[in-house]
Amino acid sequence: MTRVGVLALQGDFREHLHILESLGVGAVAVKKPEQLGEVDALVIPGGESTTIGKMATRFGLIEPLRQSIESGLPTYGTCAGMILLAGAVTDGDQPLLGALDVVVRRNAFGRQNESFEADLDIDGLDEPFHAVFIRAPWVEKVGSEIEVLAEVDDHPVMVRQDNILATSFHPELTGDGRIHDMLIEMV
């Protein structure tokens, strides 16, 4: 059985565990570096990107995460997870994994009260995906290896690079498992 880990330091990791379980895969909360070797794929959830980065640093996870992703571990980051995966952010100072060749703008669509939902056309999906954006980032700049899978107002909100998938929205809040399936298919 495929085992998908969800980084469980802060944020909406429980929602990711639930949707992965509903898709019939083994879902495990990852809190320690040694657990990375026990999973076939990884989700880095939404939450507070600075907090997740600081906690990952405190628990000795930054370098093991970098090494696992660099070694080909299929990885999916949502919202704060996209920020943590980025090579750079336009604003703020926080730990980053530098695994995804993008520059991300945090809270690009605005603050909490400007959160929104939208139906997105996503490359690889037959039907639109109902996306939930909560204090969402967008990709400000993409590297040459980045494949843009969806945009809102000409700003990339879903990208893929090799074994990494990232969205600025929260599919785990919709009950629609199609994007998580994309990660599982990468295993």
Per-residue pLDDT tens over the stretch 159-178: 999 999 999 999 999 999 99
Mark whether 16 is an active-site residue. no
Which of the residues 15, 16, 170, 180 is marked catalytic?
170
- Say whether pTM exceeds 0.75: yes
Of these residues, 15, 16, 79, 180, which one is catalytic? 79
The 8-class DSSP code of residue 145 comes to T
pLDDT digits (tens, 9 = 90+) for 86-135: 999 998 788 999 999 999 999 999 888 889 999 999 999 999 999 999 99
| CATH number, span 3-185 | 3.40.50.880
172 is a catalytic site residue: yes
Among 155, 172, 180, 185, the active-site one is 172
Task: Specify the 3-state DSSP secondary structure of 114.
Answer: helix
Residue 53 is classified by DSSP as: H
Residue ranges with strand state E in the chain: 3-7, 26-30, 41-44, 75-78, 86-89, 100-105, 116-120, 129-133, 138-142, 147-152, 155-161, 164-167
Active site residue 155: no
Instruction: Tell me the domain boundaries of the chain.
Output: 3-185
